[in-house]
Amino acid sequence: MAKILVVDDDQGMREFLEIMLMREGYRVTTAADAEKALGLFHKGKFDLVIADLKMPKMDGISFLRKVKDDSPETIFILITAYASGETALTAMKEGAFDYIEKDFKIEDLKIIIRNALSKKTNQQSDALFLKQVGNAVRFGNMIGGSRDMLKVYSTIKKVADTPANVLILGESGTGKELVAKAIHENSPRKDMPFLVINCGGIPENLLESELFGYIKGAFTGAYADKAGLFEIARGGTVFLDEIGELPSLLQVKLLRVVQEKTFRRVGGTEDEKADIRIISATNQNLAENVKKGLFREDLYYRLNVIPIQLPPLRERKEDIPVLAEYFIEKYSREFKKEIKMMSAYALELLIKYPFPGNIRELENIIERSVALETSNIILPEHLIMTQDLLKEARDLKSELPDAGINLNEELAKYEKTLIVMALTKAGGAKSRAAELLSISYDSLHYRSEKLGINS
């Protein structure tokens, strides 16, 4: 049960947040100003702080600095009546997890808090376990001692100190974001923001606003200026995942950012400086897309200054045992189980499996196996892989049995199989998988969650 400190000089807001958070199961303490809050901090730590930006005597940013000096692990969320780009940038630089405007929706704040606390828990547990992993060679949060991975680690070390743009190539689930994070954390920009956006997961009109921000009145619903990623990440790194999905119009605008180091907010007329390093990633053949006219050639060469090719898991099978060990320990802790290992035959099955979904699929397999296992060792019968789901499609009944069937269960089984097949064919790219199924991206996301499909 997380301990949350609410700091706001508005009594009504304090009481509202206290009641709402207590109903969510958190332990809540409140303070009317930053000085009283610091006094509470001297008596005990808090997992998360929600503080108003504008307060008497000491504002939210100054309070944030003092808290981070004494307790850097504490998560900080700022509440502001008017969130300017400068406010966001300052808050992120000083270590805030996020900020939200005072007319926030309750559900939005709940989601931000859950994400913040979940991220803290995962970072703490993963960091602890990485120190304990046996003889695995690792770099950042990547694990593996295969020859191909050692080459990747070496390249990261060489390029991290340079300002050059990097293009990470590899199938879905190979760990491209981990490579980007390792480059950032070993670069001179490591103390500045590292921000991620999935170019294939956001509609074009929203993606432009996310990247560049917008000014008040730029479109319906733009009630105030909002900073985009290129502004918030100033001095840091922006990771553009699934860059091959970037729409043509935004390719032109991104080229300007890369070439001229400037951009404009949506609806704006003034140029903003883009002091950022861009790292891109794709599971597509961008060179082939350039030939087909689907991706701008000039942008491709600007982004592909230094390419890093990530090997698929089926080409680094010697890393499977130690990765499996890591995920078994991770999910045993999460599910409060005492599973220590995998049977020799189960591990043999994993090593023979082709892993179309790569490391992400391996993690999902281990997570399911740990959840289902009742003994202290993972047995072969609890390994559920994509091929098992594809077999279900072949086993669907061709005739109606005398005893009848459960139509909803059979339809759900067939729907799940088709979605898995589409995701596998699309290399995990949901936008492409949605096209293959002739449904919208949102519909695919909803159906996948409903059916328990992790991609």
For the entire predicted model, the pTM comes to 0.57
Q: Which residue's structure tokens are 């072949």?
A: 394
The CATH number given to whatever domain includes residue 435 is: 1.10.10.60
Domain shared by 165 and 291, yes or no: yes
* Cross-strand partners of 196: 239
Please report the beta strands in 183-297, taking only residues with DSSP state E, as ranges in sequence order.
194-198, 213-214, 226-227, 237-241, 262-263, 272-273, 277-282
Asked if residue 367 is part of any domain, the answer here is yes
Domain closes at, from 384, 415, 440: 384
In a domain, 282, yes or no: yes
Looking at the structure, tell me whether residues 181 and 244 fall in a common domain. Answer: yes
Same domain, 406 and 375: no
Among candidate residues 262, 292, 310, the one where a domain is terminated? 310
Residues 160 and 239: their CA atoms lie apart, in Å, by 14
Instruction: Express each pLDDT in 390-410 by its tens digit.
Output: 455 445 555 566 777 776 777
- Using alpha carbons only, give the angle 63, 117, 17 rounded to the nearest 5 degrees: 60
In a domain, 389, yes or no: no
Point out the domain boundary residue: 279, 310, 341: 310
Same domain, 284 and 245: yes
Residues 258 and 338 in one domain: no
Same domain, yes or no, for 24 and 83? yes
pLDDT at 87: 62
| Residue 299 counted as domain residue | yes
The verdict on 48 and 179 lying in the same domain is no
- Domain CATH code at residue 356: 1.10.8.60
Residue 194: predicted pLDDT? 95
With beta carbons less than 8 A apart as the criterion, state whether 170 and 312 touch: yes
φ and ψ at residue 436, rounded to 5 degrees: -60, -30
Domains identified in the chain, total number? 4
Q: Specify if 392 maps to a domain.
A: no
What CATH number has the domain bearing residue 306? 3.40.50.300
- Residues 190 and 247 grouped into a single domain: yes
Residue 235 within any structural domain of the chain: yes
Residues 186, 72: one domain?
no
Q: How far apart are CA 280 and CA 171, in angstroms?
A: 14
Claim to verify: residue 242 and residue 257 sit in the same structural domain: yes
Residue 70, domain CATH: 3.40.50.2300
393 belongs to a structural domain: no
Domain that holds residue 439: 401-455
- Distance set, CA 407 to CA 218, 230, 412, 413, 451 (Å): 49, 50, 8, 10, 15
Low-confidence ranges of the chain (pLDDT < 50): 85, 126-136, 390, 393-394
Q: Is residue 132 in some structural domain?
A: no
Question: Based on the domain organization, do 301 and 319 belong to the same domain?
Answer: no
| pLDDT score recorded for residue 391 | 54
Strand duo 75-80 + 237-241: pairing: unpaired
Tell me, what's the pLDDT at 332?
93
Residues 302 and 325 in one domain: no
List, for residues 153-209, the tens digit of each pLDDT value.
888 988 998 888 999 999 988 999 999 999 999 999 999 999 999 998 788 878 888
